Amino acid sequence: VPELSVTASTGVYPVTIEAGLIGRLPDRLREIAGPSRVLVMGDSNTFPRFGRDLAEALGASSWAVPAGESSKSWEALEEGCRQCLEAGLDRGSTVVAIGGGVVGDLAGVIAALYLRGIRLVHVPTTLLAMVDSSIGGKAAIDLPQGKNLVGVFKPPEAVYIDPELLTDLPDREYRSGLAEVLKYSMIADEQLYDSLLANRQKMLEKDMDLLTDVVTRCCAIKAGVVTRDEKEKGERAILNYGHTFGHALEAATGYARLTHGEAIGVGMAVAADVGVAMGVTPAGVSASQAELLSAYGLPQSAPGLATVAETLALTSRDKKNRGGATPWVLLDRLGHATPGHSVDPEVLERAAGRALGSGEAG
């Protein structure tokens, strides 16, 4: 059974990946929680599917939030802290987050703030949460002005990943998570690239052995990066590949037209285009990425969905900026990326124009 470990400033935590792991969770969680109270938290889809049985097996309290990004709010944060209090959680208690990135992020902020911090365990149930949001200790809620503007670092005690939980995940959510998987292959794992290209059909059918292997590889990449650079002083920024333009496109389209993964597909295409124009990315690498994205049905352009001017303005407002030009993550070879590139504005305009269908061809 693959068990990875992440070293955070607060200590080391394990990431266990195993099909069928959910059946063994009550024992694992009893060990972590000891005699203190546990609150199992899910959303209106994940709680009835997985949370209720777990809470019953543990004799734990439970709380379900409405599914969707709107639950990453101040109101939900306050309500969650009240739930902890009513459930009798003390300083030794544990919050178990069973859900996608929304539940994980909200639970992380609650577990960081309630009584100045209690224990947190992640049981991710979306592909995105398995390979991305449950590892690395970041947690945030949104403001009306923007996403993830209020947050904390709250590393968990453990992350338990059961790829079988993905069986009923809606197809669009699954494909959205696949964009992050493709991203990992481009920035860090050429072998993963080959496997994803060769096994497209099995991946889309959620073949459990393959999926377990792929999730494990992605988690290993994220665990390694955040162990070496927890607070994003350097290397961790490579995880943002495709996200500089992708986040801006999501914002420009009001988070309504594209899934996160679809926006990241377009963002990766723009980043490759920019990389080629800057002489950093070999043209063959850009072509290989295009082949992979199209094999998985992810868009590489979004004609007419937003204007170049608005999208680029949002790019430079990205919260990863620290004044000055937006740093870009670019591929320098297949399976390798480097952060911190400053990009000529004309190159950006041309690449954005191609992606949004309003620039000259080329």
* 122 is an active site residue: no
**8 Å CB contact between 60 and 36:** no
What are the helix (H) ranges across 4-100? 25-33, 46, 52-58, 74-86
* 232 is an active site residue: yes
Judged by DSSP in three states, 41 sits in: strand
Reported as half-sphere exposure (CB side, CA atoms, 13 A), residue 129 has a value of 29
Q: Considering all CA atoms of the chain, what is the largest pairwise distance in Å, rounded to the nearest integer?
A: 66
* 28 is an active site residue: no
CB of 248 to ligand NAD, least distance (A): 15
| 237 versus 348: smaller Cβ distance to ligand NAD | 237
Q: How is residue 362 written in tokens?
A: 């080329």
CB of 284 to ligand NAD, least distance (A): 30
Q: Which of 122, 154, 260, 354 is catalytic?
A: 260
Note the residues at the interface with ligand NAD (CB under 6 A): 43, 45-46, 49, 67-69, 72, 99-103, 105, 125-126, 128-129, 132-133, 136, 138-139, 147-148, 165-166, 168-169, 173
Judged by DSSP in three states, 40 sits in: strand
First to last CA, the chain: 49
Q: Which of 18, 79, 164, 232 is catalytic?
A: 232
Kindly report the number of other CB atoms within 10 A of residue 70's CB atom: 12
* 222 is an active site residue: yes
CB of 90 to ligand NAD, least distance (A): 26
* CA angle, 82 then 86 then 89, to 5°: 95
| 76 versus 308: smaller Cβ distance to ligand NAD | 76
Q: Which of 37, 45, 157, 180 is catalytic?
A: 180
Q: Which of 240, 250, 262, 350 is catalytic?
A: 240
Question: What is the residue whose two structure tokens read 């449950």?
Answer: 134
* 183 is an active site residue: no
Kindly report the number of other CB atoms within 10 A of residue 336's CB atom: 14
| 45 versus 195: smaller Cβ distance to ligand NAD | 45
| 43 versus 230: smaller Cβ distance to ligand NAD | 43
**8 Å CB contact between 162 and 312:** no
**8 Å CB contact between 125 and 169:** yes
CB of 72 to ligand NAD, least distance (A): 6
CB of 324 to ligand NAD, least distance (A): 24
Strands (E), the chain: 3-8, 11-17, 38-43, 61-65, 94-99, 119-124, 138-143, 146-153, 158-161, 328-333, 336-341
| 101 versus 299: smaller Cβ distance to ligand NAD | 101
The residue sitting closest to ligand NAD, measured at its beta carbon, is 101
* 116 is an active site residue: yes
Q: Are strands 11-17 and 158-161 parallel, antiparallel or unpaired?
A: parallel
Q: Which of 138, 154, 183, 354 is catalytic?
A: 138
| 35 versus 145: smaller Cβ distance to ligand NAD | 145
CB of 158 to ligand NAD, least distance (A): 16
Please identify every residue annotated as catalytic. 116, 138, 180, 222, 232, 236, 240, 243, 247, 260
